[in-house]
Chains A and B, each alone.
Chain A
Amino acid sequence: MNVIAVSELTRRFGAKTALSSVTMSVPRGGVYGLVGANGAGKTTLIKHILGLLRAESGSVRVFDRDPVVDPVGVLSRLGYLSEENDLPAWMRVDELLRYSRAFHPGWDDAYADELRQAFALDPSAKIKSLSRGQKARAGLVVALAYRPELLVLDEPSSGLDPIVRRDILGAIIRTIADEGRTVLFSSHLLEEVEQVADHVTMISHGKIALSESLRAIKDSHRCVTLRFSESRPQPPAIAGVLRWDGHGTQWTAVVRGGSSDWKVDGADVVSDRVASLDEIFVAHVGGG
């Protein structure tokens, strides 16, 4: 059964189409990476999954329930951490844990305490006195301590230092270590997604540009650098090339297709390697 099933979801804000006929499903278990440029529609999609936006057309089901009709049924089973960390400034860390605990019967006190200590969070510290990274850690403890079936992270490490980003990635790994739990992780930091995601969905201008397992994506994209004998104002037209970069005699292509058997008249293959997720992302949604 799918944990999340989004079908033909379209959302407009005035004249702007934020999501256009988006269809995706997230199966139970594993880490699902949602990547896209700023304003691509990642947060809008996540807000629909949380029930914070009502589907104008199409449908959203989480745990086979409509999150707008049954918010309690959905929200009690998922943990959420957003870039827009809005923990109340006046609360102390221990108050935040005590408050959050009340909403989740499955809250694990020992686990919460273990996380709190691992993140060096002082229970008597007020949220407003915490640094941005510490706030993210506090939010992470609250999102993880009841071992939710689905963990939704919306740009959780945006603007944070590498140590906090490492903690967040560690939390994702902890979550999937519990069998059957699922993580939906949105980010534009592709090297992070590449480290933990099993499945990647690229979203661009409200549409899904690519959605496959990370292995399939990596296997099906190559980065080939060619050196031509004469300088060229334009790269040659070759089927399967998603994007060209370069100038003069040296051009680099991101190619869709598994074959490394490239032969171009008047050019030598300088390098032929597996494309990084960053290069694939730019090739699919980067324009230019």
Chain B
Amino acid sequence: MHSAATALAWEFRRRHRWGMLAVLASIVALAVIRLVVAGSGPAAFENDETFAIAVLVPMSAMFLYLLAVFSFGVAGDIAARQSIFPARMFTLPVTSSALAGWPMLYGSIAMMLLWLATRLLGVWPAGVDVPMFWPLLLGPSLLAWTQALTWTAYPMPGLRVIVTVLWLSTIDAIIMIALELEASEGVMLALLAPHVPLAFLVARSAVARARRGEVPDWRHVFAWVGRYTSVVTRRRDHFTSPARAQEWFEWRQHGRSLPWLVALLLPFELALLFLFHEAPVIVFETLCAVLLTPPFMAIFVAATVSRSGSQTSDAYGVTPLIATRPLTNASLIAAKLKVTIRSTLIAWLLVLVAIPIALRGSGTTPIVNDWLRELVKGIGMPRAIAIVVLGLALLFASTWKQLVQSLFFGMTGREWLIKTVAIGALTCLGVIVPVAHWAFGQAVILAKLWAALPWILWTLVVLKLVAAAWVAIRLHDRGLVSDRTLLAGAVCWDVAVFALYALLVWMTPALIVRRDALALLAILAVPLARLAAAPLALAWNRHR
């Protein structure tokens, strides 16, 4: 290594060589598609969906990957207050400008190359005039701000996610508005050009402050919460059981994250009701966004639920403190599940209290009342109540499901498995969404899918039940869960499935969907196999 710049470049290349190879392979695949589609003539897809599958989805995946790599987000704890810039690099004999600048430069070059490869090698929809230069600046701009904002230390846990998402969304919105207004290439370039230098200044300052160990702390603002908690703690001298102690541990470690994130976002979202109280469409969209906030934020919090400590070097493994608790694996999992239910309840309590207050304060209650009256007039009072209650119950269940559905993978403690599943899920989502979008536009395919729906559902149900049976047998054979707990779990699952089925039958006219299809949907909707497998995964992790 001749210089710090070379060493930093080597580290990126060495550490992410397989991911980079995958990016290169995807670019080669783009070129092959172009050769196949175009031959020697001009290349273009006839519809947007094919373009989305062949170009847009892989490009988005590569973009997100490069974003994570060059912001050090792959290994960093994005929910923490501290900068996610690797602390081991702070002692390197280089300036903060170099520490911030080289990753920014390498990332910007990678983003530019990604765009050039996509622009030149990708096959685009017919009739679309694809710009060349301004998107060349868009990727580096978004990356530079991601780097600057994730390397900054924040006064509150979780604030990094909110600030970064809001700021990147703002940049996106500005670009979208400029495109809507048919801005020229020059204007677009002028809009994007200042971002990288500005972000660099922010990043350099963030790295310099992180190097000095400066982490702002606003937690004293909420000291009254701590004092109240202390009073409560003192009042209750001892935990009544090890399980209660473990629940307390999980609550303090992860449980408060979801309510905090929801509480931080709600004021910003509900402020829109005050700003646009005369626009029913925006009121409706705002309320939808507010109701979707807990399940959406649960996706981010879910990654931390399976971790047993935030400061261990092997963040995915079980810390010795937890591994040496004299508790069974099932008890450790039960504590996590109970805390996720409590987190979900509190997050939703915040939403359900905040919405009426915001509606009343903004004067938008009559708008919502009108919608409710329309609903009652259309389907009758009992069904209207059932729809509202069922909708909220589904959102609540969805929030909890988001928190726990990846618990099985997280509890395995195997980084390779967790990252493979995460990348696989993103890839599947990236493929399924455009494919579904395309299929919905094809009447023939839609009809075939509708006809095959029972078979698809039956296959999924059989797979789910076989997996659940295998898990139950393994749990029983290895003595991880008592027979009584297994039986109680099975009964609870049955009751949940029957309750959901009964509601679906009552809500859905038999002419639209067959009863057996509803039963299969209910079976698929209630979590079973992956949740039951969590103690198995923990045992695999705890006793390696």
Contact = CB atoms under 8 A, between A and B. Distances in A.
Given A52-B320, A53-B543, A102 B239 contact: yes
B321 A102 contact: no
Contacts of B245: 98-99, 101-103
A89 interface: yes
Contacts of A84: 320
A90 interface: yes
Given A87-B321, A88-B309, A99 B239 contact: yes
B324 interface: yes
Judged by DSSP, the binding face of A is loop
Interface stretch (A31-39, A65-73, A210-218): A65-73
A42 B481 CA distance: 32
A112 interface: no
A122 to B, nearest CB: 14
A103 B544 contact: no
Contacts of B329: 71
A86 B320 contact: yes
Interface stretch (A74-82, A173-181, A187-195): A74-82
A255 interface: no
Nearest to B327: A72
B242 interface: yes
A69 B321 contact: no
A82 B328 contact: no
A90 B239 CA distance: 19
Contacts of B233: 95, 98
B324 A80 contact: yes
A87 B310 CA distance: 11
A68 B248 CA distance: 25
Nearest to A77: B326
B328 A102 contact: no
B280 interface: no
A87 B319 CA distance: 9
Interface string B196-240: 000000000000000000000000000000000000010001110
Judged by DSSP, the binding face of B is loop
Most interface-central of B237, B323, B479 (chain A CB within 10 A)? B323
A50 B244 contact: no
Nearest to A82: B320
B414 interface: no
Contacts, number: 77
Nearest to B241: A102
A95 B238 CA distance: 10
Interface in A99-140: 99, 101-104
Contacts of B248: 99
B310 to A, nearest CB: 8
Contacts of A69: 479
Contacts of B543: 51-54, 68, 71
B253 interface: yes
A51 B238 CA distance: 28
A101 B238 contact: yes
Interface in A39-65: 50-54
Interface in B50-103: none
A72 B328 CA distance: 6
Interface residues of A, number: 28
B311 A86 contact: yes
A71 B326 contact: yes
Most interface-central of A53, A54, A75, A86 (chain B CB within 10 A)? A86
Given A90-B252, A102-B245, A72 B544 contact: no
A152 B542 CA distance: 18
B421 to A, nearest CB: 23
B249 interface: yes
Nearest to B317: A52
A57 to B, nearest CB: 15
A54 B242 CA distance: 24
B325 interface: yes
B312 interface: yes
Contact of A75 (B239, B252, B311, B326): B326
Given A51-B543, A86-B309, A102 B242 contact: yes
A218 to B, nearest CB: 33
A95 B232 CA distance: 12
Contacts of A104: 326
Given A99-B245, A99-B248, A101-B238, A80 B479 contact: no
B544 A54 contact: yes
A102 B544 contact: no
Interface in B311-364: 311-312, 319-321, 323-329
Nearest to B234: A94
B239 A98 contact: yes
Most interface-central of A75, A80, A102 (chain B CB within 10 A)? A102
A46 B499 CA distance: 50
Contacts of B244: 102
Nearest to A55: B543
Contacts of B328: 71-72
Contact of B320 (A74, A80, A90, A101): A80
Nearest to A70: B479
A268 to B, nearest CB: 54
B380 to A, nearest CB: 51
Given A51-B543, A52-B320, A98 B326 contact: no
Nearest to B243: A102
Nearest to A74: B326
Given A54-B544, A71-B328, A80-B320, A103 B242 contact: yes
Contacts of A89: 310-311
A88 B325 CA distance: 14
Interface in A215-230: none
A88 B479 CA distance: 30
Nearest to A90: B252
Contacts of A50: 323-324
B311 A53 contact: no
B311 A103 contact: no
A7 to B, nearest CB: 18
Contacts of A103: 242, 245, 325-327
A87 B322 CA distance: 10
A71 B328 CA distance: 7
List 10 tightest A-B contacts by C-beta distance, closest first: A102-B245, A76-B326, A102-B239, A75-B326, A68-B543, A86-B319, A54-B543, A103-B242, A72-B326, A86-B321
Given A74-B326, A103-B327, 6 more contacts: A72-B326, A72-B327, A86-B309, A90-B253, A99-B248, A99-B249
27 contacts: A52-B320, A52-B543, A53-B544, A54-B543, A71-B326, A71-B327, A71-B328, A72-B327, A75-B325, A76-B326, A80-B320, A84-B320, A86-B311, A86-B312, A86-B320, A88-B252, A88-B309, A88-B311, A90-B252, A90-B253, A98-B233, A98-B238, A98-B245, A99-B239, A102-B241, A102-B242, A102-B244
